[in-house]
Amino acid sequence: MKKNQIIILCVFLAALGIYLRLTPHPANFAPMGAIALFAGGYLPRKWAIILPLGIMFITDLFLGWYEPVVMLSVYACLAVSFLAGTLLKKQKNAFNVFGLAVFSAVLFFLVTNFAVWAASSWYPHTLNGFLLNYYLALPFFRNTLFSDIFYSVSLFGAYELVKYGVWQWNLKKAFLV
């Protein structure tokens, strides 16, 4: 990938991530996990880790800070999603993208909700409080899972369509008919 293509792709992903995090959306339906996977799969390492964490940091400046342990768990999950995305560099296919999107969503759910239970006073630090925490977080998990799958398929699919010229070919064919 050429340097100017990398820069354009980074700017597009950053704008997409910032816009979609700052505009009204269903809770946890954001492209951040997918952007981290995508960055790991396509961008050079230095850009790939900076991009998702940078988007989160910039948007957190506007959205506000929250419990530091929970915040750290969110950023750590994005970093792991980026690392998972690097596994795609050599074997990009729909099954692997889908599987890693599901992995990222499950990881995010397990880690961040554990951090909420452990670091906040929202739930008693008992087995019942632990289970209640995860039970009440299930609707957020659904949104995270659907958004990671939707945005991952969209980002990887759109990139591959543009990369191989399928998009341009279909437009030409549509106008010639």
Instruction: List the CATH number of the domain containing 27.
Output: 1.10.1760.20
Rounded Cα distance between 94 and 67, Å, is 36
Number of domains present in the structure of the chain: 1
* pLDDT averages per 10-residue partition of the chain, 177 residues: 65 75 83 90 83 86 85 94 90 89 96 94 93 95 94 86 62 46
Q: What's residue 10's pLDDT?
A: 67
* pTM for this prediction: 0.83
Q: Chain centroid to CA 152: how far?
A: 8
Q: What's residue 1's pLDDT?
A: 59
Range of the domain at 43: 3-176
Q: What's residue 23's pLDDT?
A: 80
